[in-house]
Structure 1
């Protein structure tokens, strides 16, 4: 646990990138300042290789890299990469820089890079794990079980969390996919399981409404956006999880629970996502969803503490080397 250490989280505001950075900061015991870059064209076209947008330079009002510079910078996303380079230069190497996911500009752009197993980037300063960092820690899951969400606690067991994503660059939910998912969830509910459903901003309207109807007729739960987001509570109280394969983050978060994770594949796909799911299958954490609750036993997967430990060790080495080279 780091004390008296300042930190930034730097992204372009994408929720998935920001959550990963905040999860690592949580595990380090840091209270980071969140900063977001918003480069304009044509500067954004050259990222991650080109310069920052001059409008966001350190001396400009509202700059995402205005000083004083932090002890640790945790960034994610290709648009953030030029800004990481700038902070490293402007801080004269004082800031320890971390990039989550392949920056697509080589491993030397930061002091430490984390990448998932299914990406190809490797190097002396590259940390590789099976799953991505997130905020679904064992401690937060335990707290959510100790003080259960009153909307979910009365639901009969077995309770199955349903994490529905949506259309993405690589996946599309066709009408046939929607019908297949709802049919298999209906089969699961008829077997005695209670669905606890949450949708995402990307969930197409036909799927959202079909899931709402499923929850109503099965006595389950559907989060419609009102009240506190029950995402953590769903995972904490679930006896199993059904998750759509369009989001590696959601699949990885589900695998942090230690309960069976059943993956629904919509149309499309990507080799990296497929490799990630195969890795989880080898760990015994996931199987394809076929309308029934599978019996799977595995150790919960959470790479966040591993990543945080690597950052802490690297930062302490970095600080010691910096202090040793400082003039007496």
Structure 2
């Protein structure tokens, strides 16, 4: 990035997780920016503490050399807790030379960001904040079509419609143990009794091995349990599938499924918290008709979701000309 148009460039910074990368990348693409994906790496104790408890020093970062530029890009787009530290550090260093945009709730120092984009369930209403119903993401019709072409010779087809099953994992908000898995397996088996559908299972990096092994045991002979770690047909299957089932633990995963404009069903895991913001998100998208609760039959349905990523990107472009 030694020769670049600074005014039209961005660093997109996350902890490397797929959901967060999708969000920063999606915003940069929608803003028509030349972007570089970067990963922040924190030292102890910053890597375990919430923002605001200890000062943000250069020693907080083990890879600060990745961000040393006399002429940085105009836009710093970040997502997630770890990147909050770096966004604040870079803003204090470069001041008005950079525009900092944070995706998700930074939970601290709200007024030090030029813009904050957060989902409705975070309940942030500030002069510099923008609210979305779904998570910002990089999913588009053209991207899905391109991936479908790549995997058209890899994925075998028959007369049965495809249902993509996206499995998350145990988290601070949800249980995903053997009991929850048995509930999901029973639900899918009931659907298979009622309908001729081919299920295609994909896993997130949080999915435990015992969950993957059990799904393999139950469905590997009759359906497709993807195990090739060198290629990922996820985006292609957003296009090939007629139905999508998501576990309820990932806002990003569910949002991307909705944006594909397919019929999305959510399997509600048991919450481990009495106040769970992701439950608020799942309640909202259900009441808005964007998804349906997973029962014993799948029906095709339509919704009128409008791409919020493009709308927010346009507002930010106009504000920070």
TM-score range normalised by the length of the shorter chain: 0.7 to 0.9
Computed over aligned residues only, the root mean square deviation of the Cα atoms, in angstroms, reads 2.4
C-alpha distance after superposition, 1:89-136 (max 9, x if no partner): 322312111000111114312111000000021111100010001122
Q: How does 1:183-262 map to 2 (within 5 A)?
A: 183-190=186-193, 191-218=195-222, 220-262=223-265
> Is the CA contact (8 Å cut-off) linking 1:167 and 1:203 kept in structure 2?
yes
CA distance in 2 between partners of 1:69 and 1:12 (Å): 20
CA distance in 2 between partners of 1:251 and 1:296 (Å): 16
> C-alpha displacement at 1:64, in angstroms?
4.0
**Are 2:132 and 1:152 equivalent residues in the alignment?**
no
Tell me the TM-score normalized by structure 2: 0.88
C-alpha distance after superposition, 1:277-310 (max 9, x if no partner): 1221122121111131033221245322122222
Check 1:301–1:290 CA distance in 2 against 1; reply closer, same or farther (3 A cut): farther
Q: How does 1:114-133 map to 2 (within 5 A)?
A: 114-133=117-136
C-alpha distance after superposition, 1:29-64 (max 9, x if no partner): 22322233222223445542243342367xx98524
SS state of the match for residue 195, structure 1?
strand
Q: How does 1:1-328 map to 2 (within 5 A)?
A: 5-44=8-47, 47-49=50-52, 50-55=54-59, 62-67=64-69, 68-145=71-148, 149-152=152-155, 154-190=157-193, 191-218=195-222, 220-269=223-272, 271-300=276-305, 302-316=307-321
CA distance in 1 between partners of 2:258 and 2:73 (Å): 33
Tell me the TM-score normalized by structure 1: 0.86
> Is the CA contact (8 Å cut-off) linking 2:175 and 2:271 kept in structure 1?
yes
Check 1:246–1:47 CA distance in 2 against 1; reply closer, same or farther (3 A cut): closer
SS state of the match for residue 221, structure 2?
helix
CA distance in 2 between partners of 1:64 and 1:222 (Å): 38
> C-alpha displacement at 1:157, in angstroms?
3.0
Q: Which stretch of structure 1 is more off in the superposition, 157-166 or 27-36?
A: 27-36
Runs of 5+ unmatched residues, structure 1: 317-328
Check 1:116–1:156 CA distance in 2 against 1; reply closer, same or farther (3 A cut): same
SS state of the match for residue 234, structure 1?
helix
C-alpha distance after superposition, 1:120-164 (max 9, x if no partner): 211111000100011221221233456653233514332101001
Partner of 1:326: none
> Is the CA contact (8 Å cut-off) linking 1:174 and 1:267 kept in structure 2?
no
